[in-house]
Amino acid sequence: MRFETALSYDEFAYAQKFAATSLINLLKIHKQDFENIYEIGAGSGVLTKLILSTLNYQKITLNDLYKSEFMAKFETQIGDITSLNLPKVDLIISSSVFQWIDDLEALKNRLHASLKPNGILAFSMFCGGTLEELSSYTKQGLSYKNSNEIRQIFEDKFEVLSVKKDKFVVKFNSLKELLNHLKQTGVNNINGKFRLTKSSFKELENHFNGEFHLTYNFVNLICKKRELQ
């Protein structure tokens, strides 16, 4: 998966926009004023733009594996979040990224250490059932965690202030349109092994039975750092 090659990401990322909006709306119920914000996996700025228009803060740092054009105007920390030394901040926020992190437990420990006392971790991530329309056909789906598993990972070191599950279904007119959407958003559910031939295209088309839908299930968590004894 290479998001840097997904040039039309902004135009096609309906589900990611929905998840980011849902996250920011949930966060602002709890807190809107911060000193230092750190965003993980900012990409083309879908969530960042909502942060800028909704939250009050003094400083923001954007992280991603690659520096997008959007990120050029901001202070950045480029690299894999699982191995960077983060600055001390009072909000860590991320949307549509954590589903790609293999060891979420280890990341949680790093994030906990980077938050100031009472700091907030707010994130949305795709969870179980996402792109099930494809994985039910290919039997090669990504292993999205379910929302309970995700909550359990975080609740020993964080007080979970809110958990909100949501679902976004994108509808297409044809299989071609659907596959183009996946390509443009850099997402696929097929671990790179699955190749479409003319006959498997037809087979996949039949699998959709005239209803070209993709489901994105996601969960938002707003967590407050626990001070451990």
Ligand X SMILES: C[S@@+](CC[C@H](N)C(=O)[O-])C[C@H]1O[C@@H](n2cnc3c(N)ncnc32)[C@H](O)[C@@H]1O
Footprint of ligand X (CB under 6 A): 3, 13, 16, 20, 40-43, 46-47, 63-66, 80-82, 95-97, 100
Q: Which residue is nearest to ligand X (CB)?
A: 41
Q: What is the dihedral of CA 125, 168, 14, 24, to 10 degrees?
A: -50
Measured from the CB atom, the residue of 65 and 142 that comes closer to ligand X is 65
- Scanning the structure block, which residue is given the tokens 């230092």? 36
Q: How far is the CB of 37 from ligand X (least distance, A)?
A: 13
Q: How far is the CB of 66 from ligand X (least distance, A)?
A: 6
Query: CA 125 to CA 219: how far, in whole Å?
Result: 6
Which of residues 83 and 197 has its CB atom nearest to ligand X in the complex?
83
Tell me whether residue 97 or residue 182 sits nearer to ligand X (CB atom): 97
Paired residues of 33 in beta bridges: 56
Least Å distance, CB 107 to ligand X, is 9
Beta-strand pair 59-64/158-172: unpaired
CB of 66 or CB of 201, closer to ligand X: 66
Q: How far is the CB of 135 from ligand X (least distance, A)?
A: 18
